[in-house]
Amino acid sequence: MRIPMMVGNWKMNNDNDEAWDLAVAIAEGLEDLEGCQVVVCPPFTALVSVGEAMEGTDIALGGQNLYWETSGAFTGEISAPMLTSCGCEYVIVGHSERRGRFGKAPAEECLLSVFGDNDATVNKKVKAALSGDLIPIVCVGELLAERQEEKTDEVVEGQVVAALAELVEDEIVDVVFAYEPVWAIGTGEVCEAGEANRVCRIIREALAEKVGADEAEQMIVLYGGSVSPGNIQGLMEQPDIDGGLVGGACLKDESFCELAKVAAEVKGE
């Protein structure tokens, strides 16, 4: 049985004081929550204070990115051991904003990525996370142009396979995937629940090719892209969506807590 998961990606929001306040409010709001693994991913600068604010709760801490080397002359980068030393158990890998695949921008513009993540670096980061005792939450998803060209399945499957290159079964089973159609991120335009489920199923089938159907059935596949209290119920009712990766709606404690509660309730039925 899969335990639902609700991940809050704070992106580049909240200084230390704001982060503390939001973390305390989330911890209080979810005090009685059971049946949903909540993960909060603040900016690196707030990891320690958010960890402190959530001490004694079941809420886990995650980074938003990592570098694949463990230490050295890599100015501005953060390694897996650094994240675990701040209390992280999870790390987001390959978010579309880091792959340079933005909103509804045309494919040519998206190639001008400022952060440079691509299938090869995502694979290195997944490996670094796993060897550093972090669970990677790997983001995959198509651009609007790719969906219009009916390339969604091919793009998503390709990203899943590339992220897992050279990994063995025992490692793959720990990886969490998040289907995040790029055109749905931060746009208010959520993917229709049945279609989101269909693509999450495709991800699970790609995983089954690697680890076998039984193991793939135990793996967590999330949906992300304009998740809100208004659409969470329908998404959680889908059999292959195990939870959400949330941006905008995780910045307010009321809405984020609501998402986690609905996930627990729907999946617990």
Which residues contact ligand PEP by CB under 6 A?
A: 9, 95, 180, 185-186, 224-227, 245-249
Q: How far is the CB of 246 from ligand PEP (least distance, A)?
A: 5
Ordered DSSP codes for the chain:
-PPPEEEEE--S---HHHHHHHHHHHHHHTTT--S-EEEEE--GGGHHHHHHHTTTSS-EEEES--BSSSSSS-TT--BHHHHHHTTEEEEEE--HHHHT--TT--HHHHTS-SS---HHHHHHHHHHHHHTT-EEEEEE---HHHHHTT-HHHHHHHHHHHHTTT--HHHHTT-EEEE--GGGTTTS-PPPHHHHHHHHHHHHHHHHHHH-HHHHHHS-EEEESS--TTTHHHHHTSTT--EEEESGGGSSHHHHHHHHHHHHHHHH-
Q: How far is the CB of 188 from ligand PEP (least distance, A)?
A: 8
Q: Among the options 28, 95, 150, 169, which is catalytic?
A: 95
258 is catalytic: no
Q: How far is the CB of 214 from ligand PEP (least distance, A)?
A: 29
Q: Among the options 97, 146, 180, 258, which is catalytic?
A: 180
192 is catalytic: no
The residue (of 104 and 168) whose beta carbon lies closer to ligand PEP is 104
The residue (of 61 and 211) whose beta carbon lies closer to ligand PEP is 61
Q: How far is the CB of 100 from ligand PEP (least distance, A)?
A: 14
The residue (of 241 and 245) whose beta carbon lies closer to ligand PEP is 245
Q: Which residues are catalytic?
A: 95, 180
